Structure 1
Amino acid sequence: MSGITHDLAALADIPRLTEWLDAHIPELGKGALRTELLHGGTSNVVLTLDRGGPQMVLRRPPAVPPPGAERGVMREARVLSALNPTDVPHPICYGVCEDREVIGMPFYVMEKVEGWAGNLRDEQIHNEPPFDKAPYEYGLAYAIVGGLIKLANVDYKAIGLETFGKANNFLERQVDRWAGQLASYPEKYPGYEKRHLEGYDEVEAWLRANARPTRDIGIIHGDIATTNVLFRHGPPARLAAMIDWELSTIGDPMLDMGWLCGGLRDERFPDMTSAHGLIDVTNAPTKQALGQYYCAGTGRDMADFDYFCILAGFKVGCIIEYKVAAAAAGHLPTEVGEFFRRSVDGGFKRNAEFIRRIS
């Protein structure tokens, strides 16, 4: 969908990279270095590294990085390195390089985890068989929540992440944070004009009127979905690793549950469907079932669960509107912008309707 192309030679200077790997990651082997493009996007690219030993992957910004891409890659490296001694399913980080002289950008090297992820194509998320149908698909969400439980239970200070995010007043700052980012797009993306988002004002007003104080602090993945995790091949559903930690921070980890569950079926309102239509929610648990499972594993309760689902929906809408803006500015294909326009519009309208029903 992205239409992005990358020059492999421009992403990895083989002689320089080989010298660095020799010095810092001997576990990779000593053979001739072979690299391939595993994934390429607008914010980062992933290359496979093969020297005859265990395969690993290198993650770096693209040759022409967007603002903040280098910082995002280094933040990913920091959180993955900190998680290495924990039981949180994640790729092991083997080494980090901040020296731009090696391959032109900072990068890190991590484990190549075997598994599969949800694949977004034709505006729908497709799962690997047999997880594309009941009953196997049902277990995927529970497997993800199992990983989120382990993440929420990590003592972030004990693993050196006390300064990874601003914990104080985390929830109290969220609406201003994401509303401010949304308001910044017309200036950042010439050609994009602020547009009316049906339901946005209602959602923002509800969040401000129902603000919750920050009480629980932990590590947040920030972008948890079947497309950003790896599952083991074959049933039953088993989580191999959570990947793509670009939006990770320190705050209330139940926000991850709101992000994961916001578009799922609500037991009180069975007629409300997913806002974006990316998944067939009939083969997924209800958000209440997943929330109760999460609370049982973390010692939380369901009292504020609706709030976290609405806040997460507000956050994701404000963030992905940048795709609409980038397309308007000519940085992304028009069809990409239209896809995300529909997703943003549907999300705010659905959350506004949800608020009317629970009020």
Structure 2
Amino acid sequence: MSPQPASAPDTPVGTAPIETGALGDWMDGQDLPGGAITGLRPIGGGTQNIMVRFERGGVSYVLRRGPRHLRPNTTTVITREMTLLSALSGTTVPHPRFVAGTDDESVLGAVFYLMEPVDGFNAAEQLDAPTAATAEGRTRMGYGLVDALAELGAVDHTRIGLGDFGRPEGFLQRQVPRWLAEFDRYRGTAGYPGPEFGELDRVADWLERYRPTDSRPGILHGDYHIANVMYRYDSPVVAAIVDWEMATIGDPLLDLGVLSAIWPTEPGGAELYESALGATGDLPRRAAMIDRYAAASERDLSALDWYTVLACFKLGIILEGTYARSCAGKAPRAVGERLRRYANGLFDRADRVIAGE
């Protein structure tokens, strides 16, 4: 056992303290390199969950846990992330490498795990890497985003031990009722004036009418877009797919539907989520993006319009929910207004896909 301070104080990081003595003792029990924990600092994660980076014994780690005020599903979400990342370690899918984790909340007051830091950058926020310095490089980064998704969609989830990670049977049949129920949960939120994108029933009816009859299950990231990947600095490929908290076993074509839903529709146009990379207008054309996926996948893309509309429907409802909470003072109003704009854009795109435009 490596010596730890007799009463190591809580070290404030982000919005939750990290008790370094308890963390060090736990790491000793995992046979990880010993020594003092140094350089503890928060890093961005894109969610309310907390991620901190630190060094110990000459090795760098990232710790991920739930927020200080844990949500009802925090333990389940973090535990599932551990299971998934551990299973992916035997694949070529780019992801943060899992080191160790525990569901024992007594260690740090919450379930947590350690992973290796990703040497990369988030192209939703910055484009200061050499690979992003030219229009050609940025176009290749768009293709790299598609390549990583196709690689994930090709994984046999049962072979890597994820046979019981989700409920793929009836996955597509559950989608419309699930998201309609989610919308109904905040219809009556205090101060929420209702949606600007019109009635949901018309889109819901179209989705139910044209739902594909066949669905091949696989790993679904659940929120796949530019902000949820890290790019390598030295090449236009994805270094890691991150933020796996919505992952399950479902239909991977819904991830492609998300890309299709937010991708620029016109040459030189901006991507719907207004990422730094998407705002350059250098992403490949939507048809080229889809062709790239098709060339790397054995999946049937003939119903991609349906998956695109489902993605618009699902994401629009999720984003509108944040706006509703902002009306009640439970989320920043500026964030709510921005996400409502995205929700309106998604339903507008759904309307145009349904109309055959």
Q: Give TM-score scaled by structure 2 length.
A: 0.88
Residue number in structure 1 paired with 2:257: 258
- Secondary structure of the residue aligned to 1:357 is coil
Contact 1:228/1:243 (<8 A) preserved: yes
Residue number in structure 1 paired with 2:41: 36
Residue number in structure 2 paired with 1:227: 227
Contact 2:75/2:103 (<8 A) preserved: no
TM-superposed deviation, 1:7: 4.0
- Secondary structure of the residue aligned to 1:282 is coil
Residue number in structure 2 paired with 1:202: 202
- Secondary structure of the residue aligned to 1:113 is coil
Residue number in structure 2 paired with 1:305: 304
Amino acid in structure 1 at the alignment position of 2:222: G
Closer, same or farther in 2 for the Cα pair 1:270/1:199, shift >3 Å? farther
Equivalents in 2 of 1:110, 1:208: separation in Å? 40
Closer, same or farther in 2 for the Cα pair 1:133/1:340, shift >3 Å? farther
Equivalents in 2 of 1:162, 1:320: separation in Å? 30
Residue number in structure 1 paired with 2:27: 21
Closer, same or farther in 2 for the Cα pair 1:161/1:257, shift >3 Å? same
RMSD over aligned Cα, in angstroms? 2.4
Which segment drifts farther, 203-212 or 241-250? Answer: 203-212
Contact 2:268/2:282 (<8 A) preserved: no
Equivalents in 1 of 2:299, 2:46: separation in Å? 36
Residue number in structure 1 paired with 2:236: 237
Amino acid in structure 1 at the alignment position of 2:245: E
- Number of residue pairs aligned between Structure 1 and Structure 2: 342
* CA displacement 1:147-194 (0-9 Å, x = unmatched): 12221121111111111111101112111111211211246x555454
TM-superposed deviation, 1:350: 2.4
TM-superposed deviation, 1:132: 5.8
TM-superposed deviation, 1:42: 5.4
Amino acid in structure 2 at the alignment position of 1:67: P
Contact 1:221/1:247 (<8 A) preserved: yes
Contact 1:25/1:95 (<8 A) preserved: no
Residue number in structure 2 paired with 1:54: 59
Which segment drifts farther, 288-297 or 153-162? Answer: 288-297
* CA displacement 1:72-112 (0-9 Å, x = unmatched): 11111111011111111111111111111111110111111
- Secondary structure of the residue aligned to 1:50 is strand
Closer, same or farther in 2 for the Cα pair 1:132/1:335, shift >3 Å? farther
Equivalents in 1 of 2:106, 2:286: separation in Å? 47
Which segment drifts farther, 101-110 or 278-287? Answer: 278-287
Structural mapping, 1:74-113, within 5 Å: 74-113=79-118
Q: Structure 1: where are the runs of 5+ without partners? A: 1-5, 121-125
Equivalents in 2 of 1:137, 1:44: separation in Å? 30
